[in-house]
Amino acid sequence: MIDPEALELIASYPGPRDELVEGVIRGLESSTLVVGVSEVKRCPRWRELVQGNGGFSHQKSPQLDPAASNRPETMDFSKAHHPSFRSPPLGSLGAFIPSAQLASSKSVKAPSPSDPFFSPEVGVIDGERPNLSIDKGLKGPKIPRPEEGGGSPGPVHVDDPGLEGQIVPPWAEKLRAPRPELSAAGHPDVRSSLRQDHAPSTPAIPSCLEGLSDITGRSTCVGEYQDFIRYFRDRYSRIREMLSGRLNARPIESLRKGIAGREISIIGMVMDVRTSAKGNKVVELEDPTGMVTVIFQKGVPGSEETVSLVLDEVIGVTGTTDGKGRFFGKTLVRPDLQARSLIATGEGGALLLSDIHVGSTYFMEDAWDRFIEWINGEVDDPLGIASKVKYAVIAGDLVDGIGIYPGQEGDLSIKDIWEQYERAAELLNAIPDRIQIVLSPGNHDVVRQAEPQPALPEQLRDLFKKNVTFVGNPAGFRLGGVDWLVYHGRSIDDLVLKIPGLSYGEPEKAMVEMLKRRHLSPIYGNRVSIAPEEEDLLVIRRPPAILHCGHVHTIGMTRYKGVTAINSGTWQGQTDFQKKMNIQPTPAIVPYLDLSTMRARKLIFA
């Protein structure tokens, strides 16, 4: 991340700015999160030219242009913005291909410095995926890529019409584990991404959760180009498998003249979608054997489905080919779930939480205290819900983190990442021991940003009581007799942007779109950085009984084909940024799910 003032400073540099940027990056400590003014000013290039005290004797010092700082032009910061671009990986983590090499074989769009959500990832091709068929030497046409109020006593209960139908005991003991060194080697480095999971500090967790599926301790990718091909093929073949029960599809390379006019089916990944001048949808579809242009003519029954097509989703299409590389689509088939009223029921009550953002000045501590009083049975609870709660699942963003977006320091009441987790542990440890807590990370937590994310590192786990189980993001597991799929939900930002009819106010609709596509983050290369692991853990293999997300800070519940989909909102009040963006969070409302009936309620502590 770069401090805007540092960026201005760089923009005002009278010499070759790319050289300054390189110099600044070379001088960075591996633990640097934000490049600030001091990092720029201590660069020899800066000192030489601006302060005039030397550094590189081979260069003459031109005069400082007094107008330079007002120059409106922007500089190309794309390479320098990649923290790993110039610096070798830390430790002996094996082969590592910086994105420069990826860039040589494929056009790589480096993250824009103006995107506050830029995740400093290693080897993630941003905005473009490799062709599925790349190593077969098949060249398809070159396709450009487009791009509620309560208070004491007890919570207010609101039945949610979508599915059916608002509170600390003093610390028995303050948990003060010895504080580990915050070094690049031992501390979970939020800048490192693909390599972090290799660190011995994040071993697989001996979990008490049945059937746990997550990346923790299993990451193998190093971000090589071939990793990406393998990753997309895995995505393709898993979803193809789901579709092949509904379609008898042929490989795209077999669409020759001889079969022109006959109705046939294909299964491919969406490489491009555009609307032609005549209003037809033109979709470039790719499978491991080749690529074809699919045309869905306007007004043809079923063509409405095509408005929600997104890049990189895997679909089936039935239609006819002209044998010359064009395919006229009649039906679009998604790997959607089979209709069912309910996947399963279990036992006990569960609280769904997310986006607590401990350490943020906006964290709603009073509301959290009410929640804690309630769950500990210290206030009136007419429906007796508190005593029925056996589980609490947290879908990410436990803390606000540090260096997540420029200027975040001003929004932090706790500026030290370790202290944020200490405080978060205090808050969670006030939940009674009888409640099993499952904790999955989000983009504000101190694990790699690329998804799938591993569970919190071991040093942090020690802060929490034994009733907390740590899982990755996403994580599939069995709890209370039913299958859960927990995913923080960063892809909702992309889905809301790309699918007409979706909004931040109704995050459950975006979750339904995930289920229809059997993928938690179908669009590759926008907000979500995906690590090209051997298996695509973001594929929704078996329909879960519960899909639980967070991230967008708005509560939402629905049932879709038997799956209970819940977004658990937040505990963070509206931030200045969200005010500017007109994002209206619904803080301090907790979804309670009775697993024996799958009926949900909103408990309001705001």
* Residue of minimal Cβ distance to ligand D5M: 116
Return the one option of Zn ion, Fe ion, ligand D5M, none that residue 405 interacts with (CB less than 5 to 8 A, by type).
ligand D5M
Give the three-state DSSP class for 58.
coil
355 binds Fe ion (CB under 5 A): yes
* Contact between residue 581 and residue 496 where contact means Cβ atoms under 8 Å apart: no
Q: What angle do CA 527, 532, 538 make, to 5 degrees?
A: 65
493 binds Fe ion (CB under 5 A): no
Nearer to ligand D5M, 231 or 421 (CB): 421
Answer for which of 126, 272, 312, 397 binds Zn ion (CB under 5 A) is 397
Place of tokens 């032609």: 276
Angle, helices 17-26/4-11, rounded to nearest 10 degrees: 140
Parallel, antiparallel, or unpaired: how do β-strands 546-549 and 555-560 relate?
unpaired
Give the three-state DSSP class for 231.
helix
**How many whole angstroms separate alpha carbon 443 and alpha carbon 396?**
7
* 209: its two tokens: 């959760």
User: By CB under 5 A, which span of 106-114, 296-304, 311-319, 396-404 interacts with Zn ion?
Assistant: 396-404
State the nearest-atom distance from the C-beta of 445 to Zn ion, in Å: 9
State the nearest-atom distance from the C-beta of 597 to ligand D5M, in Å: 31
> The dihedral of CA 248, 254, 259, 265: what is its sign?
positive
Compute the CA torsion angle 583, 515, 118, 362 (nearest 10 deg). Answer: 40
State the nearest-atom distance from the C-beta of 433 to ligand D5M, in Å: 29
202 contact partners, CB below 8 Å, separation of at least 6: 188, 196, 216, 217, 447, 454, 455, 457, 458
410 contact partners, CB below 8 Å, separation of at least 6: none
State the nearest-atom distance from the C-beta of 96 to ligand D5M, in Å: 28
Q: b/e for 197-236, b at 16 or more Cβ within 10 A?
A: bbbebbeebebebeebbbbbebbebbbbbebbbbbbbbbb
3-state helix, strand, coil in the chain (%, to 5): 25, 20, 55
Nearer to Zn ion, 375 or 456 (CB): 456
Place of tokens 């139908």: 165
Rule CB under 5 A: which of 517-576 touch Zn ion? Answer: 551
445 binds Fe ion (CB under 5 A): no
User: By CB under 5 A, which span of 19-27, 315-323, 397-405, 416-424 interacts with Zn ion?
Assistant: 397-405
SS3 track for 573-604: CCCHHHHHCCCCCCECEEEEEECCCCEEEEEE
**How many whole angstroms separate alpha carbon 285 and alpha carbon 301?**
20
Nearer to Fe ion, 99 or 360 (CB): 360
Mask of contacts with Zn ion, 479-518, x by CB under 5 A?
----------------------------------------
Look at residues 319, 236, 323 and name the one whose alpha carbon lies nearest to residue 280: 319
> Cα-atom radius of gyration of the chain, to the nearest Å?
26
Answer for which of 265, 443, 473, 572 binds Zn ion (CB under 5 A) is 443
Phi-psi category of residue 582: left, alpha or beta, with phi > 0 → left and psi -120 to 50 → alpha: left
Nearer to Fe ion, 397 or 451 (CB): 397
Size, binding site for Fe ion by CB under 5 A: 2
User: By CB under 5 A, which span of 82-90, 285-293, 329-337, 397-405 interacts with Fe ion?
Assistant: 397-405
- Tell me the CA distances in angstroms from 488 to 331, 471, 521, one per residue in order: 32, 12, 11
User: By CB under 5 A, which span of 34-42, 76-84, 438-446, 554-562 interacts with Zn ion?
Assistant: 438-446
State the nearest-atom distance from the C-beta of 354 to Zn ion, in Å: 8
Nearer to Fe ion, 134 or 394 (CB): 394
Rule CB under 5 A: which of 307-346 touch Zn ion? Answer: none
Return the one option of ligand D5M, Zn ion, Fe ion, none that residue 130 interacts with (CB less than 5 to 8 A, by type).
none
Strand order in the sheet with 156-159: 156-159, 599-604, 589-594, 349-353, 389-395, 436-440, 468-470
397 binds Fe ion (CB under 5 A): yes
Answer for which of 442, 480, 507, 525 binds Zn ion (CB under 5 A) is 442
State the nearest-atom distance from the C-beta of 576 to ligand D5M, in Å: 10
Nearer to ligand D5M, 96 or 405 (CB): 405
* Residue of minimal Cβ distance to Zn ion: 551
Place of tokens 């569970």: 455
Nearer to Zn ion, 46 or 571 (CB): 571
473 binds Zn ion (CB under 5 A): no
* Site residues, ligand D5M (CB under 6 A): 116-117, 355, 397, 405, 443-444, 493, 551-553, 577-578, 583
- Tell me the CA distances in angstroms from 233 to 353, 467, 525, 581, 588, one per residue in order: 34, 38, 16, 37, 41
Nearer to Zn ion, 442 or 562 (CB): 442
Which stretch of DSSP H or E encloses residue 425?
Answer: helix 417-429
Return the one option of Zn ion, Fe ion, ligand D5M, none that residue 282 interacts with (CB less than 5 to 8 A, by type).
none
Nearer to ligand D5M, 264 or 549 (CB): 549
State the nearest-atom distance from the C-beta of 352 to Fe ion, in Å: 14
State the nearest-atom distance from the C-beta of 579 to Zn ion, in Å: 17
State the nearest-atom distance from the C-beta of 369 to ligand D5M, in Å: 21
State the nearest-atom distance from the C-beta of 440 to Fe ion, in Å: 12
* Contact between residue 269 and residue 314 where contact means Cβ atoms under 8 Å apart: yes
Nearer to Zn ion, 318 or 443 (CB): 443
State the nearest-atom distance from the C-beta of 488 to Zn ion, in Å: 6
State the nearest-atom distance from the C-beta of 444 to Fe ion, in Å: 6
State the nearest-atom distance from the C-beta of 314 to Fe ion, in Å: 29
Site residues (vs Fe ion, CB under 5 A): 355, 397
Site residues (vs Zn ion, CB under 5 A): 397, 442-443, 551
